[in-house]
Each structure stands twice: as structure tokens, then as C-alpha cells.
Amino acid sequence: MRLKPIAVIRTPFTQAAGTPIQPVTAAGAEGTEEGPMKTLQVLGTGCPKCRKLAENAEAAAKALGLEYELVKITDITEIMQFGVMMTPALAVDGVVKVVGKVPDAEAIKALLA
């Protein structure tokens, strides 16, 4: 089982001692929430187009200032579980957004916004 963070919270705590770890004990603590982390999944065998798609997806996420994790999925069986029959493909948080082409960073930004 793989756990995935749902948000990043910045707090004023600088040491582990005394840091609240339960929502109840964190009541009244100041900090900012930065929204959920996106998982960008590049589905492909590692060909030049797959690498370019990964590069463009990373550039788009950085340009938008998103917290993200880039995962490259190269196993054909795992790729087929997404219902993808043509690579490269891009999935965002497990939802396939692009199949069989390499959109530029601007087009990917529109998918991530």
C-alpha cells in the first residue's frame, strides 16, 4: 500500500519536540496550507517522446508553482491498467489526460490548472 500526502502545511515549529501531530492538538497553531500535491504520471517505455513529455510536464508544474511528484511508469502491464494502448501518455492523479502525443508545457499547464 502506498500513502500519498493530501496537502503540505507550513507551520512555525522549528523543532520536532512539541510539534502537534493530531488535528485536535494543532487547534490554534498558525500556518498556511498550500493545497494538495499533484501526482504526474508519465506512461511510456522511456523513449525520447516519453522523456520529452516528462520534461514538459515538470516544466508546466514548476511554472504553476505546484507541489508535485513525477512518476515514470514504464511497465507495459501497469500502463495497460490505465486503459492506455498508445504511448506516451500523461495521467494526473491517476486520471489519463493525454494519450499518444507530446503537448508543450503551455498545453499541460491548462490541464493542471
How deeply is 57 buried, as exposed, middle or buried, from its count of CB atoms within 10 A (0-12, 13-18, 19+)? buried
- Write the single-letter amino acid at 71: V
* List 50, 61, 79, 91, catalytic entry: 50
Q: Give yes or no: 108 in active site.
A: no
**Three cell numbers written together for 10:** 507550513
- Which DSSP letter does residue 36 get? P
Annotated catalytic residue within 7, 29, 47, 63:
47
48-64 and 105-112 are packed helices; what angle lies between their axes, rounded to 10 degrees? 60
**Could you confirm whether 47 is annotated as catalytic?**
yes
> Which residues are catalytically annotated?
47, 50
